Homo-oligomer: A and B are copies of this chain.
Amino acid sequence: EKELRDVEESFGFKFSDTVTWLNINGLNHVAEIEKLGKHYELHPLVIEDIVNISQRPKIDEYENYLFVVLKMLYYDTDEKIVSEQVSFVLGNNYVLSFQESEGDVFDAVRDRIRQGKGRVRDMESDYLLYVLIDAIVDHYYSVIDTLSDKIENFETAIFSGHVDDDISQNIQNLKREILRVRKAIFPLREVINRIEKNDNKLIQPSTLTFYRDVYDHLIQVSENIDIYREMIWSLMDMYMTTISNKMNEVMKVLTIMASIFIPLTFIAGIYGMNFEYIPELQYRYSYFILWGVMVVLFISMLFYFKRKKWL
């Protein structure tokens, strides 16, 4: 295991008997990558696809090698989801991997190789490719766990009545995240399925079981994503009903206040009129009787709204 400064240093490994894993970080050294591609006799379109980081996950089978593109997903420090392209070229006795930036997703794999632990050291390049893909797919689980947590937070927020515009904005952002994750993960299912199903001489039968295992993981991740998607879509509905319920509550307060005091004010207004002849005005106990009437009216109103369950 070495860190190479120059691509050409690696050329010696091509015809060695052991399996060589060449990991290239950073895709802007186009010239170097083209040199490497020439050395390994890669098709020009492969080089183009490695460098163009907006590929969708795919597999292309060439005569002497397999070309696999997939997406690594992680949340960055701003809690934004990042989708980074990783390409693999699987040859008979080598695996080339190309990453956008130096990540740590392959660290565990490196450790296992260094320690000679597990089956990694003894097996062929197809098994190494499996180990690398598996490391990426395992990472998807942590991404969807974060998604799941976010959804639950929103649910809790909405249930506890926080209905500001931010929520609708955040839900929209979450939808966007889920759509991006789907876009990165869903096509990969077909890629792995084709590896598992096809009869490619580069993949040994004994390794197929492991690819099937990765495929099962992907199906599981996909199903979870679809469930989260439904949950978040229905969250919007729930948010809508919560808003409506809030409005209902506001309207009730208004209606109760207005319905109680507007009639009473009217009655007070009657006896504020300046007609010369209003018989009640002269009567000594009018004022007290009126208070009595008003209190009765007030209480019966309260009862009425109580019975309607508005209070």
Residues of A with Cβ closer than 8 Å to B? 43, 45, 49, 54-56, 58, 60, 155, 159, 161, 163-165, 168-169, 171-172, 175-176, 179-180, 183, 187, 209-210, 212-213, 216, 219-220, 223, 227, 230-231, 233-248, 250-255, 257-259, 261-266, 268-282, 284-287, 290, 310
Contacts and interface: CB of A to CB of B under 8 A. Distances in A.
Contacts of A270: 268
Nearest to A161: B165
14 contacts: A58-B216, A159-B169, A163-B245, A172-B234, A172-B235, A183-B223, A248-B250, A250-B251, A254-B254, A261-B262, A268-B272, A273-B290, A275-B287, A277-B286
Given A56-B220, A272-B273, A310-B250, A165 B245 contact: yes
Given A165-B242, A250-B252, 7 more contacts: A49-B213, A236-B241, A243-B248, A248-B250, A271-B274, A275-B280, A275-B281
B168 A60 contact: no
Contact of A258 (B245, B257, B273): B257
Given A245-B163, A261-B262, A266-B261, A276 B284 contact: yes
A244 B245 contact: no
Contact of A257 (B213, B262, B268): B262
A273 B271 contact: yes
B268 A183 contact: no
Nearest to A54: B220
A159 B281 CA distance: 52
- In this complex, the member of A43, A231, A275 whose beta carbon has the largest number of chain B beta carbons within 10 angstroms is A275
A179 to B, nearest CB: 5
Nearest to A230: B179
A266 to B, nearest CB: 4
